Structure 1
């Protein structure tokens, strides 16, 4: 039942899209209708699947590496005042740089292969994960910290046994945000220089005025991003106590069994 609003909204958007195409009479190379896009997607499903696998690999690698680096950086910032003074301003500065400006440089350094796109995805998601987890680590309830200090707990034990568990919901939020941003980084890298991937496919289709194929690739990318976000939400659910307790309550509710 939770998916019903999303299904209704999707059907409404498709109907509105088709109505705009029908009423305005726009040429197909300007705005193809959803039926034509679906037909194009079906005829080119093998080609789209091949490019989707490339982009998916870039995104998953970027998400994993970026999340690991973000978690490690947030822990270091929380544990060291010196790191907060020296590193945090640099992180903020890097976010002021346009990603499009960095993409050609990364392609020059890392080549046109896989890793320039992976690194673009890492750059996109690194800061959200770091920022969300660091904020959670620094917002530990004061009562927990006072009790730990009263019991003469060491700073490392306070970090690992109190601050980290209290910050896990914030980490979950950062990872869920990163799951949406990661495909953007990979596609930007493919736009700058690539020979495979959905971003490359969109550029190629646009250059040949195959707008229906470009829409098919774009919608495939959007669907992949949604599925990735749903997967991350499910994986991070144990990190959020309210969601974990709600899931256990639904499983234990009477009348849900066979």
Structure 2
């Protein structure tokens, strides 16, 4: 579902109104900047701290992108295994669901303690954050394949690879992209949790340092950058879906 130009203008207008009210309230009640900064103070913080925000954004973006790629490869592999073997699915799928009862905020410090402060534990945390929606969406997508199409391909003496490439993969791709859209919004959250648990760089690290120094405007600036990164990744996945699944819009 795509937004019309009118919907986009309405949403943009609402955001502008909310920002204006935010600024007005902060000025009218003389709210201290370290308690709740006005939008103008946050914008000023963007300019004054560009040298801090730039490198921190790069560190977090690298963690997010690499973690997403790891999660995608792992999720597709596990999903194909679950789809190919009902026995494996009955044994492994409940374990995957049960693993989601363990909060990432609990695992993050354990991984950092075990493997150090380099990028490795952070990639694992981001991958774990994104893995579940990807694998569930892929498994569900593969399960929606019409059995009659499979039987038809077998009567034509199609190989297992041909059936997967011609029938199963095209059917599952919309679900895979649906899971990917969810995963990319989770990825920056996982990266921040990882950086909070132990790091020497990134937006999460910058937020911790700024909070301890009561630089609340800089914390808000980092949050806005994270939100912008999530939105950008979401739009990128949506664009890739339109480019790759060309037959979807023709239905």
TM over 0.5: yes
| Aligned residue among 209, 213, 217 for 1:212 | 217
Cα distance, 1:26–1:243 mapped onto 2, change above 3 Å: farther
Which whole-Å deviations, capped at 9, do the CAs of 1:177-202 have from their partners, x for residues lacking one?
Answer: 11111111111000111110000101
Where does residue 70 of structure 2 map in the other structure? 65
Where does residue 107 of structure 1 map in the other structure? 112
**Greater CA deviation, 87-96 or 156-165?**
156-165
Cα distance, 1:99–1:16 mapped onto 2, change above 3 Å: same
The reply on whether 1:75 has 2:80 as its aligned counterpart is: yes
Where does residue 52 of structure 1 map in the other structure? 57
CA distance in 1, matches of 2:118, 2:249: 40
**Greater CA deviation, 78-87 or 136-145?**
136-145
Where does residue 86 of structure 1 map in the other structure? 91
Question: Alpha-carbon deviation of 1:25?
Answer: 3.1
Question: Alpha-carbon deviation of 1:165?
Answer: 1.2
**Greater CA deviation, 232-241 or 85-94?**
232-241
Q: Specify the SS of the correspondent of 2:200.
A: coil
Unaligned runs of 5+ in 2: none
The reply on whether 1:200 has 2:205 as its aligned counterpart is: yes
* Contact 1:29-1:211 at 8 Å conserved across structures: yes
Which whole-Å deviations, capped at 9, do the CAs of 1:147-188 have from their partners, x for residues lacking one?
Answer: 234445455543332111111111111111111111111110
Which whole-Å deviations, capped at 9, do the CAs of 1:212-238 have from their partners, x for residues lacking one?
Answer: 111111111111111121112112223
Which whole-Å deviations, capped at 9, do the CAs of 1:45-93 have from their partners, x for residues lacking one?
Answer: 1210010000000000001111111111111111111220221111111
- Please, what TM-score do these two structures have when normalized by structure 2? 0.91
Which whole-Å deviations, capped at 9, do the CAs of 1:84-133 have from their partners, x for residues lacking one?
Answer: 02211111111111111100111012211111111111000011111001
Query: Any residues of structure 2 matched to 1:32-181 within 5 Å, and which?
Result: 32-151=37-156, 153-181=158-186
* Contact 1:18-1:33 at 8 Å conserved across structures: yes
CA distance in 1, matches of 2:216, 2:147: 56
CA distance in 1, matches of 2:87, 2:166: 22
* Contact 1:238-1:244 at 8 Å conserved across structures: no
CA distance in 2, matches of 1:43, 1:245: 49
Unaligned runs of 5+ in 1: 247-258
Query: Any residues of structure 2 matched to 1:214-253 within 5 Å, and which?
Result: 214-241=219-246, 245=250
CA distance in 1, matches of 2:173, 2:242: 10
Cα distance, 1:126–1:15 mapped onto 2, change above 3 Å: same
**Number of residue pairs the alignment of both structures matches:** 246
| Aligned residue among 170, 186, 190 for 1:185 | 190
